[in-house]
Amino acid sequence: MRARRLLIGLVVVLGLGGLVAVGSEVRRPGASTFATLSPPGMPVAPTASGITSSWFCAGVPTSGQRGGDVVVTNPGTSPLRGRLTVYSTAASPVSQDIQIGPREATSFALENLSKGDYLSAFVELDGGLGLVEQRVRHPNGRSLAPCSNAPSNNWYFADGITQSAGYDLVITNPFPGYTNVTVQVLTVDGVRTPADLRNQTIAGTAVLKVDLEQYGLRDEQLLAVWVQSTPERVVAARAQNYYGGLGRRGYSLMLGAPSPDYRWYFPDGEKSSGVSESITVYNPGDLPALVAVQVFTETAGGPDYVSVQAVQIPEGSVEKVDIDAITGLPAGRHSIIIDSPDAPIIVEQVITRGSGGGAVTSITLGSRISSTRWWVPTPLDDAGEGSLIVTNATGVEGSFTVYALGPGGLAPVAGLSDIPLRAANDFVGGLVAVDLTGRDVVGKALLVESTVDSVVLRRPARGPNLKGRSSVLGLPEG
């Protein structure tokens, strides 16, 4: 679908001056108790200890050669104790006590604890200062994602295809009582909500798999999804297995957005031969959105290049914007900020590097916040050029330092202290691709600390014998 670009003068109406400041034995659990939390904006790391913290993981496939882990990282100086509960599409929940040593990360393979097409997890941590993520092991590539701090009654997914691609919704009800879910699907032809996806019941402490192709949604080149639940809140994720449709290849499983927002940050982008990049903007509301797509480049563009694109997104619609088609966009890396001051939206980024069988596609839901501290809690399997991307979210010069978590605590990584982070002025600068080659960081959790608000993205390896990397945001301190 072609986005309707407006005259750049309209961006003044948006007030861009303000926008661009630029384990133990498994046993059956009793009734789980949940912390009282408001619907989450995005996963964040706790900054103060409490009685418990709760983490809700999206779910992993476990059929065939598929599996997945929950990774719990303890940055503290004392052992971290808690409980891991596993929910299934086909079995009753099971639970086990867990303990993570000081300054360690421990993974728990969910397929060893239960059976089913998909398994999801609920992690309760005593004291509250642990960090939890999930990692899918799939023949088409690993997929890493932070777990959510809380469930929600609404989950949104901007991007999606069913053209030479599998699309499963994975919906978990972590509460003892049943809940009903309605799945609204928006395609290029308008809203389609199959009757069988209205008020579908999910039993308490269970997982529901929704294969969209089984509901007549085949060969779709663009679709957005809105999952609504009542009376209970749920956790909803999208699993996409790409095998050639629209040039995409790879595997992605990620949480949706529990609510729309007015600003989204994307630290990583690239203009290069063999790279395809787009953003998908979903406006689920009843007001039109005039969206400013702001691109911050490593070098200045030519005379025909315009760094801000204005895009009209009608109410209740989804649009795809081709970033690599922007006239005069300079080669190299760039970052993006999306602003929609009049109506909240959901934005996802799609980057495919390579072509044919060598293509690798990464899907990233933007960050809705910036922070001065970003965790990389799941230890890296390898380290290379561009394994971390750090962007300056302000118009002020700053710097950042990368720390590694070891037995003695956090220590600066050699050569990665006080790295200059240019201000994002005149839409040029503010982006650093960190080369971790030869650094002593493999197998360690990391912390990126900056003197100004920043956004951090990591690019972990897709797995043994697989080319390319995936993309996932760091975990900001909230």
Q: Which fold has domain 52-146?
A: Hypothetical Protein Tm1070; Chain: A (2.60.290)
pLDDT in the model for residue 50: 66
Q: Is 50 exceeded by the pLDDT of residue 113?
A: yes
User: How would residue 13 be classed by pLDDT, with cut points 50, 70 and 90?
Assistant: very low
Do residues 183 and 224 touch, judged by C-beta distance below 8 A? no
Q: Is 70 exceeded by the pLDDT of residue 12?
A: no
Do residues 411 and 373 touch, judged by C-beta distance below 8 A? no
Question: Could you tell me the two tokens for 213?
Answer: 């192709």
What's the half-sphere exposure (Cβ side, CA atoms, 13 Å) at 353? 14
Do residues 308 and 321 touch, judged by C-beta distance below 8 A? no
Residue 385: CB atoms within 10 A of its CB come to 10
Which CATH code is given to the segment(s) 371-476? Answer: 2.60.290
pLDDT in the model for residue 9: 37
User: How would residue 18 be classed by pLDDT, with cut points 50, 70 and 90?
Assistant: very low
Convert the pLDDT of each residue in 291-336 to its tens digit: 999 999 999 998 999 999 999 999 999 999 999 999 999 999 999 9
Q: Is 80 exceeded by the pLDDT of residue 122?
A: yes
The answer for residues whose C-beta is within 8 angstroms of residue 286's C-beta and 6 or more apart is: 315, 316
Do residues 294 and 20 touch, judged by C-beta distance below 8 A? yes
Q: How far apart are CA 311 and CA 258, in angstroms?
A: 23
Mean pLDDT score, 166-192: 95
Mean pLDDT score, 193-198: 88
Q: How far apart are CA 301 and CA 132, in angstroms?
A: 41
Question: Could you tell me the two tokens for 179?
Answer: 């809940």
Q: Is 60 exceeded by the pLDDT of residue 21?
A: no
Q: How far apart are CA 318 and CA 312, in angstroms?
A: 10
| Tally: H helices and E strands in the chain | 1, 37
Q: Is 60 exceeded by the pLDDT of residue 250?
A: yes
Q: What is the pTM of this model?
A: 0.92
Question: Could you tell me the two tokens for 440?
Answer: 């002593």
What is the DSSP code (8-state) at residue 81?
A: E
Q: How far apart are CA 155 and CA 148, in angstroms?
A: 12
Domain with CATH 2.60.290.11 in the chain: 4-20+260-365, 52-146, 154-255
Convert the pLDDT of each residue in 374-428 to its tens digit: 999 999 999 888 999 999 999 999 999 999 999 999 999 999 999 999 998 889 9
Mean pLDDT score, 86-106: 97
Please give the sequence-ordered ranges of beta strands (E in DSSP) within 246-307, or none if there are none: 249-255, 263-266, 270-271, 275-283, 289-297
Among the residues of 166-241, which ranges form H helices?
Answer: none
Residue 297 φ/ψ, nearest 5 degrees = -105, 160
> Residue 164 burial by CB count (10 A; 0-12/13-18/19+): exposed, middle or buried?
middle
Question: Could you tell me the two tokens for 456?
Answer: 């951090």
Which CATH code is given to the segment(s) 154-255? Answer: 2.60.290.11
Measured CA to CA in angstroms, residue 413 lies from 4, 279, 384 at distances of: 46, 34, 14
Q: Does domain 4-20+260-365 have CATH number 2.60.290.11?
A: yes
Question: Could you tell me the two tokens for 350?
Answer: 């799609």
Residue 324: CB atoms within 10 A of its CB come to 14
pLDDT in the model for residue 426: 83
- Range scoring the smallest mean pLDDT among 24-33, 69-78, 124-133, 379-388: 24-33
Q: Is 60 exceeded by the pLDDT of residue 281?
A: yes
Question: Could you tell me the two tokens for 216?
Answer: 């007549």
User: How would residue 458 be classed by pLDDT, with cut points 50, 70 and 90?
Assistant: very high
pLDDT in the model for residue 392: 96
pLDDT in the model for residue 49: 65
What type of residue sits at position 208?
L
Give me the residues paired with residue 126 across strands: 52
Measured CA to CA in angstroms, residue 375 lies from 175, 335, 371, 386, 471 at distances of: 29, 20, 11, 16, 15
Which string of DSSP letters, residue by residue, matches 442-456? Answer: TTS-EEEEEEEEEEE
Does the N-terminal peptide bond of residue 258 adopt cis geometry, omega within 30 degrees of 0? no
pLDDT in the model for residue 36: 43
Q: Is 90 exceeded by the pLDDT of residue 460?
A: yes
Residue appearing with tokens 């303990």: 99
pLDDT in the model for residue 11: 39
Q: How far apart are CA 65 and CA 130, in angstroms?
A: 30
Q: Is 50 exceeded by the pLDDT of residue 214?
A: yes
Mean pLDDT of the chain: 90
What type of residue sits at position 64?
G
